[in-house]
Amino acid sequence: MDKGRNMDPRISIITLGVTDLERATAFYTALGLPLAQTGSEGIAFFRMAGTVLALYPHDKLAEDVGSRFVGGTTGFSGVTLAHNTRTKPEVDALLARAEAAGGRIEKPAQDVFWGGYSGYFSDPDGHLWEVAWADFWQFNPDGSLIL
């Protein structure tokens, strides 16, 4: 790698380790995410605005990362994913859709200290998603958040 070149400021793929690939794929499809492809190696890819969400078996992902992660414990990883909406009612609608698809509401939507409105759900593998709205957020035409 060229030591003079910085890392490009982007995330290309977010991969979630899942216990049941078929169930996880069905869950994210039910949320309305566009399934781009599934691989013969047991992976699913969803097209997102500016990035890709991948689902891959948890044990295989741990093996790929390194032996010290194989057989790891579950629990809060300190990581949440966020989906920002254009309107406040979309927060409630998406949380309801996640619950109907088999997710669990971890924190119902509510007005929050930073001036927005948000709630949390977990997918069937326990990955935490925040769904949030604020009237001061703006979006690019592709749906990506402007900071």
* CATH number of the domain encompassing residue 59: 3.10.180.10
Kindly state whether residues 19 and 49 are assigned to the same domain. yes
Domain count, the chain: 2
Is residue 74 one of the residues assigned to a domain? no
Per-residue pLDDT of the chain (147 residues; tens, 9 = 90+): 455 677 667 777 898 989 999 999 999 999 999 999 876 678 999 998 888 899 988 888 877 666 555 665 555 666 789 899 999 999 999 999 999 999 999 999 999 988 999 999 999 998 999 999 999 988 888 888 887
Residue pair 57/64 in contact (Cβ under 8 Å)? The answer is no
- Which of 24, 41, 67 finishes a domain? 67
Same-domain status, 24 and 53:
yes
> What range does the domain containing 60 cover?
8-67
pTM: 0.80
Nearest-10 Cα torsion for 135, 139, 143, 147: -100
Residue 100 lies in a domain: yes
- Dist CA 56 CA 1 (whole Å): 28
Q: In the listed set 18, 34, 67, which residue is the last one of a domain according to the structure? A: 67
Same domain for 61 and 97, yes or no, is: no
